[in-house]
Amino acid sequence: MMNIPQHTGSKNRKFNDYSFYEKSSNYYLLPFKFHRLPIDKEVIVNEFGDFLIVPTGTVARIVSREILTDDPADVELVRDLISNFFISETPIPSLLDILSTRYRTKKSFLDHFTSLHIFVISLRCEHTCHYCQVSRVTSDKGKYDMSRFHIDKGIEMMMKSPSPHITMEFQGGEALLAFENIVYAVEKAKKAAMQQGKTITFVICTNLALVTDEILDFCHEYKILISTSIDGPAFIHNKNRHKANANSYQLAVEGITNCRNKLGAEHVSALLTTSAISLEHPTEIVDEYVKLGFNNIFLRPISPYGFALKSETKNKYETTRFVEFYKTALDHIIQLNLDGYFIREDYATILLKKMLTPFPVGYVDLQSPAGMLTNVIVFNYDGDIYVSDEARMLAEMGDFTFKVGTLGETGYQDVFYGEKASVLSEAMANESLAGCSECAYQAYCGADPVFNYATQGDIYGYRPSSSFCQRNMSIITHLITLMDSNPRIEKIFRSWITGKN
């Protein structure tokens, strides 16, 4: 039998005696967490993500029942604490039904289950990006295209999703190298969606080097969204995204212009991948997006998967360096808004929506339970099925831990409710993860078993050394500190959520 040591003195107890919580008080505590800010203040956050910034020492006063509801010095604080559900005047809050509704709303992204279905339509690519996360192959190897059989089976599984709104995203390699298969898949999926009463959105991820008028005409007919990559000015983009005997930056810019003219600006978006060279040029990268007429930029780090880390000097860097880059770029973006140019940073906008509104977000990396399976599924070019795009990247390095089946061989139930899904589900909710459950930012963050596995060797992860945790805690703290420092900045942040400046 395991010998469990007995605590004999109060100094060794984690919690006070029950009698401490029985003592008379004019209010009752509701669940909340707190975090000390670097500005001699504390932020307290409740279960729904509502937060208050208070002077250092306020948490101790609240918990010790030193806040006096009839003290004029505490009147405003008491009002804020009660209205934001940090304390209650009754043992059970009178608005408990409203609280439960708010919590359900925050988790409503689970209502319809998987909506995003990624089809890796081809592994072929004519670029040689040094941070590419998959084992791309040259453009003359047609055997690396997804077969019509696997396309059919992927559409069949996609239509079994209970979600009334589904997204079919085509990735590569370079997806446009298999454009004929995209045409086949779009036409077939559109027909199937109409028959089942579902709405469907199509997305093509492409470097735009191969885009033609014929392709754009088809995209216009089916209202297809285009997602491309811009890594900053030409000297950064061309180093990151090399194309033999060509200027990949110029091709991307020309492609963006053509897409906007044919499809409309709202149908074209660009993503940035932050390589080591990018870290030295945060303001130049932001200014490039402004020059190209974008009103948003997504500052995201290199993902620690697959072949992206083969070139460590170009791709590997400490999280602290990315956070410094992020803060500098964000400060520049805020100043641009203060000067009258509306441009939002997308990662901050996702976090701010979780912090400032009662609504959920669709970004799978910041969901709890995690977005894998519940929000996204990936069908690889060879028919293998993975729980996320990051899981597919691991498989390209020979690690098939997160493969959940094969199209045409594995049924829907086995993919989404099988043994692997069951094991993963235990590590998908940050509410029950050590280090997350007591974190003040738990309501804003997510859980990522694949990231934990790739970086720390286990799906649960270890928060004190997690770069995911370090990055998110730093960014969230920075956002809160900025809002506290200047009301105009909070107004800008709210405009990012609404899309109205």
Per-residue confidence (pLDDT) for residue 4, from 0 to 100: 34
Q: Lowest-confidence range among 96-100, 192-196, 428-432?
A: 96-100
Q: Lowest-confidence range among 11-15, 32-36, 267-271, 340-344?
A: 11-15
51-55 and 41-46 as β-strands: parallel, antiparallel, unpaired?
antiparallel
Supply 73's token pair.
């010095």
Nearest to 209 by CA among 181, 174, 178, 184: 174
Q: What global pTM score does this model have?
A: 0.90
Tell me how far apart the alpha carbons of residues 463 and 456 are, in angstroms, rounded to a whole number.
10
Tell me how far apart the alpha carbons of residues 271 and 285 are, in angstroms, rounded to a whole number.
12
Per-residue confidence (pLDDT) for residue 143, from 0 to 100: 81
Nearest to 326 by CA among 308, 346, 353: 346
Tell me how far apart the alpha carbons of residues 313 and 496 are, in angstroms, rounded to a whole number.
35
The answer on pLDDT for 439 being more than 50 is: yes
DSSP-based helix, strand, coil % in the chain, nearest 5: 45, 15, 40
Handedness of CA 246, 247, 249, 253 (dihedral sign): negative
Greatest Cα-to-Cα distance within the chain, rounded to the nearest angstrom: 79
Per-residue confidence (pLDDT) for residue 240, from 0 to 100: 82
List the beta bridge partners of residue 43: 35, 53
Query: In the chain, what are the domains?
Result: 22-106 (no CATH), 113-419 (3.20.20.70)
Task: Express as a percent the part of the chain with pLDDT over 70.
Answer: 89
Residue 155 near residue 189 (C-beta atoms within 8 A): yes
Q: Lowest-confidence range among 9-13, 269-273, 321-325, 355-359?
A: 9-13
What pLDDT, in 10s, does the model give residues 367-414? 999 999 999 999 999 999 999 999 998 898 889 999 999 999 999 999
* Spacing of C-alpha 488 from chain mean position: 26
246 confidence band (pLDDT: 50, 70, 90)? confident
Tell me how far apart the alpha carbons of residues 168 and 119 are, in angstroms, rounded to a whole number.
7
What pLDDT, in 10s, does the model give residues 109-151? 888 899 999 999 998 887 566 556 555 556 555 688 999 999 9
**Higher per-residue pLDDT: 420 or 315:** 420
Tell me how far apart the alpha carbons of residues 349 and 361 are, in angstroms, rounded to a whole number.
10
Q: Lowest-confidence range among 44-53, 90-99, 255-264?
A: 90-99
DSSP-assigned states of every residue in 227-288:
EEE--SSHHHHHHHEE-TTS-HHHHHHHHHHHHHHHH-GGGEEEE--B-TTGGG-HHHHHHH
Report the b/e string of 472-481 with b at 16+ CB within 10 A.
Answer: bbbbbbbbbb
Tell me how far apart the alpha carbons of residues 429 and 460 are, in angstroms, rounded to a whole number.
10
